């Protein structure tokens, strides 16, 4: 089992920044992929960014150049630095861990971009 706990969501004005954190505990093996997804009201959950334990990153086109995903393997923590936020970034953001072909999810954290 893997447990994921997110933090860092909130309300921010357009153009602002937020940093999300996700701490993982449990049976985290090498070869996993950590990522962030989001779900806006009335929309499907979508990938925002992901980062395999071996390196490299993958971003949704809508966030490229604005968001940065990183991880600290020693702390089993993944971060999402979000800059130049737009109202369309408003959503519940979920941390995801893909470990041994199983998807694990955090409880979600609300990000609201509004003036």
Rounded Cα gap, residues 61 and 45, in angstroms: 15
Cβ–Cβ < 8 Å for 24, 78 = yes
Which single residue is written with the structure tokens 């941390």? 95
pLDDT for 55 equals 83
114-to-68, 85, 90, 105 alpha-carbon distances in Å: 21, 9, 8, 26
Give me the pLDDT at residue 70, please. Answer: 95
Encode pLDDT of 49-96 as tens digits. 999 988 899 999 999 999 999 998 888 899 999 999 999 999 999 999
pLDDT at 29: 67
Centre a 10 Å sphere on the Cβ of residue 57 and count the other Cβ atoms it contains: 14
Q: What is the mean pLDDT of the chain?
A: 94
When mean pLDDT is compared across 35-39, 41-45, 74-78, 103-107, the lowest value belongs to 74-78
pLDDT of residue 76: 87
Band (pLDDT 50/70/90 cuts) for residue 37 is: very high
């Amino acid at each position: 089992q893997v447990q994921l706990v997110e933090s860092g969501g909130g309300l921010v004005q357009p153009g602002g920044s937020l940093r999300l954190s996700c701490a993982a505990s449990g049976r985290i093996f090498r070869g996993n992929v950590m990522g962030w997804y989001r779900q806006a009201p009335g929309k499907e959950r979508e990938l925002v960014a992901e980062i395999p334990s071996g390196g490299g990153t993958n971003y949704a086109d809508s966030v490229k150049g604005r968001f940065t995903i990183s991880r600290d393997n020693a702390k089993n923590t993944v971060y999402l630095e979000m800059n130049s936020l737009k109202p369309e970034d408003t959503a519940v953001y979920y941390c995801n861990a893909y470990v041994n072909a199983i998807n694990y999810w955090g409880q979600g954290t609300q990000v609201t971009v509004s003036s």
